[in-house]
Structure 1
Amino acid sequence: MAAIIEVDNLAYQYEDGTKALQDINLCIEENARVAILGPNGAGKSTLLFHLNALYLAQQGSVKIDFKEVSHQNKDWVRSQVGLVFQDPDDQIFSTTVFEDVAFGLLNFGWEDSEEIKVRVEWALKAVNILDLKDKPPHNLSYGQKKRVAIAGILAIEPKIIIFDEPMAYLDPKGQEEFLNIINQLHEREKTLLVVTHDIDFAAEWADTIIVIKDGKVLATGGTKLLSNLDLMGDANLSLPTITNLFNQLNINGDITLPQTIDEAVEILSDLL
């Protein structure tokens, strides 16, 4: 499958001299489910901002759908790469939910009010909040605000959608609902990138893992990376709960440590 995101020797330094990214190289395939992991200050958000053209490369390059990101095409990039911020209050500012979700379409030059109405209502239905379309966003719960932010991105219909810590501050029900939303997006053949500290979520959901620390990519690969004790230790990351349990009980021997409950059940069934 073709790569929809290509990052080549990307580096970025802030004005105070902080090196946020150093020689980042990545290749992400279309329709992938990617979990980006790393400790605080690793450079994850800085990387996201480059993929969305909020930041432009100081060194190296970023390509979206084979086109190099530049000042000249940043509006096009943002129509292809939707970014959902960790805090929905950073993204929501209109007087009604409908207006907020419509904002991106208007910003990209949509003029037909009926077409905008159809697209906005479709996006609100997708996240199950059509009944809130006339409500002021600031009166909504945190989880509802998250859905409004997601709907605003969905309305644009980007090929790539990036979520920055989407599970933060959501209760278990909210986390389950978010998982349903991103699974539906994957079925619509969207490429999904999720920055998260939730290792168990990454183990269960992702097909690609990217581990970042100190502005560098430590590893990329499948979820088996999450049971690499040396890698997870070097990255200051916890093991998945099931992996940690098997490791603590020394239930490994010649087997590969599991990352998910299903894998653990299979291993225990064989052992018994």
Structure 2
Amino acid sequence: MMNVVLALALVVCCGFSISQAKYDDKHGRQLTLGASPVNLKKPDLDLCNVCYQLTGQTINQLLNIILNGAVVGGCNELCGLLNASEAIDVACNLVCDLVGIKEFIAAIEKADLDPVYMCEILKACKVFDEGDANITAFTITPKQGPAGTEFQLEVDFKTKNGTGTGEAVIEVHTVDHFPVDGGQLMESLDPGSYSIKFTLQTQKNCQQEPCEMWEKGIYNVTMRLCNGECGSKHPHSQLYDTATGSFQITAED
């Protein structure tokens, strides 16, 4: 599975993106879950989201830096070794400074490339292992269209006890078997009913080869809601629920 997470923004991979993620809780509020870039200057900074986006983009780099024996005296030095944007450097320093360089390095080593688990180790994201989430509906519209069609995917679910920090992940089983998937951080939620919307762009847009060609045929889709990273073997990880759907590409570009 190809997991691509853009730091401080939404997942965009092979034409797949998260367009909206909101829920109505028992108080009738509507909140957006990570549906806009993080503003690091906001006083109510969402540290869990910042940590998740940061680690999803850089945890492999950070681990390699540490394993290669780089000598770092502080957060600024470690984050400065990243081959990343200025926004990533700022986020790296922010999270590292909050926990301390020793704790930051220890979490990177222990997390074993699992961004959710790392952020839980750093106490940036809440741990709750008694949670649940049951999918009540999973819809894809339209049901068919030519390559280039924008498909809307929506999952509705309920939680009786609330959830831990986890992920909502979509995997598209393509005709040519090219991996197309994406996901969204699902921060710890109170009991209630929730809806997450995704947008799937099927316009061929290959910046490098190979890429998804969106050939004619049936495309099966799997939706997963997870505590922790989907598929992780680390503590605080489990599959809450899964659902499937499909759409058809009727003509190629």
Shorter chain as denominator, the TM-score bin is: under 0.3
Larger radius of gyration: 1
Greater strand share, structure number: 2
Greater helix share, structure number: 1
Query: Normalising by structure 1, what TM-score?
Result: 0.25
